[in-house]
Copies of this chain bind each other. A is one copy, B any other.
């Protein structure tokens, strides 16, 4: 592919009791804890309008993932056949962007407390989007 590759900006970080990706839940509804999303002060205006109770999609950069993996055994289960990463939710993929559906519990300045986030402590946050009506 030609052209300049796009460069992401880290707009915040995850603060979570989870520190080890190997033992973190694979999905938020599999026992993930509450966490804080802590944004850089420069992005405070972008948070205006987010309220407790909102369901949002958080996009993160899974900085511990491998980018050279194109096929995996789904959920690490070697009894399942290898599958292309675009047909799985493996963190290992060419662009390891995490997509997390969470509920906002609290808004405190540039800090959002959210439920059920499986991303580990320190994970860079890229974006937050409201869930559309049709998305759940």
Contacts and interface: CB of A to CB of B under 8 A. Distances in A.
Interface of A: 1, 3, 5-13, 27, 29, 40, 43, 45-50, 54, 56-57, 59, 61, 63, 67, 70-71, 82-89, 93-95, 97, 99, 101, 124, 126-130, 132, 134-136
Contacts of A101: 134-135
Contacts of A95: 8-9, 11, 59, 126-127
A120 B123 CA distance: 31
9 contacts: A43-B86, A46-B84, A47-B86, A48-B84, A49-B87, A86-B129, A94-B127, A101-B135, A135-B136
Contacts of A29: 134
A136 to B, nearest CB: 6
A73 to B, nearest CB: 11
A83 B6 contact: no
Given A134-B101, A135-B135, A7 B8 contact: yes
B7 A7 contact: yes
A47 B7 CA distance: 24
Given A126-B95, A135-B101, A136-B135, A87 B8 contact: no
B97 A97 contact: yes
Contacts of A71: 45-46, 48
